[in-house]
Amino acid sequence: MDANYNRIAGQSLQRLAGLSDGLFAVAMTLLVLDLRVPVLASVHGERDLGQAMVALAPRLLMYLMSFATLGIFWIGQQTQLNHLHRGDRELAWIHLGFLFAVSLMPFSTTLIAEFLAYRTALLLYWGNILLLGALLYAGWKHAGHAGLVRSDITADLACAVERRILIAQGLYAISAALCVIDTRLSIAMILLVQANYILAPRVFGLDRL
């Protein structure tokens, strides 16, 4: 009879899902704290307020981009966990690392919104996305090796999950590389990649990327 603590620790998929939903919810809402209402004294009429709102648009776009990023990874993590029949301590820690990367997203977003034209900001933002992808991938690989995957999941399906992460990260890496030309080109490309994953248009096989 083996009473090793590590064999019994952190096995609840439900608690992992609960913590993840909470952390994603907080991170998604904290993004918007970045949107600041103009100072009352600086506004002298509807025109001033309208202009202040228009000036917020680029920041709102960055916020929307990060909300979409978090949405894509929330769906990705949910899909992974839905396909497991149990968890273990290692899986819990890989996903805690993943949630750490989620909690950094409000910082990365403020950074890129403030320093739109800086490659340093863009590459750190991309680093955050890369970390999310790498840990999601590691979670799926570990689940496969440790026998956590539900028995009704075919090898084809398991490959589809893996392939999705790798292609998405490839597209994000290409987007980031475009910053040698212009950081705004990188951002535009990231937005296009996200729009594709959200809308999954059934043309040219785009929904199969």
Contact 71, 196 (CB under 8 A): no
Segment lying near its own copies (by CB under 8 A), choices 82-90, 128-136, 143-151, 185-193: 82-90
Please say which residue, 12 or 173, places its beta carbon nearer to its own copies.
12
5 burial class (0-12, 13-18, 19+ CB within 10 angstroms)? Answer: exposed
Number of residues this chain uses to bind its own copies (CB under 8 A)? 78
Q: Is 103 in the site for its own copies (CB under 8 A)?
A: yes
Report, in angstroms and rounded to the nearest whole number, the Rg of the chain calculated over CA atoms: 20
Q: Is 196 in the site for its own copies (CB under 8 A)?
A: no
Phi first, then psi: give them for residue 149, nearest 5 degrees. -75, 140
Q: Which of 84, 143, 149, 161 is in the footprint of its own copies by CB under 8 A?
A: 161
Closest distance between its own copies and the C-beta of residue 177, in Å? 16
Q: Is 114 in the site for its own copies (CB under 8 A)?
A: yes
Tell me the sheet residues that pair with 84: 149
> Looking at residue 9, what DSSP letter applies?
T
Give just the sign of the alpha carbon dihedral 63, 68, 73, 78: positive
Write out the binding residues for its own copies, residues 39-78 only, by CB under 8 A: 40, 43, 46, 49-50, 53, 64, 67, 71, 74-76, 78
Closest distance between its own copies and the C-beta of residue 207, in Å? 6
Please say which residue, 77 or 175, places its beta carbon nearer to its own copies.
77
Please say which residue, 63 or 175, places its beta carbon nearer to its own copies.
63
Q: Is 82 in the site for its own copies (CB under 8 A)?
A: yes
Closest distance between its own copies and the C-beta of residue 203, in Å? 14
The CA-atom distances, in angstroms, between 100 and each of 85, 151, 165, 174, 202 are 24, 30, 19, 24, 34
Write out the binding residues for its own copies, residues 16-45 only, by CB under 8 A: 17-19, 21-33, 35, 37, 40, 43
Site string for its own copies, 115-154 (x = CB under 8 A): x--xxxx--x-----------------------------x
Q: Checking phi first, is residue 116 left (phi over 0); if not, alpha (psi -120 to 50) or beta? A: alpha
Give just the sign of the alpha carbon dihedral 98, 102, 103, 104: positive
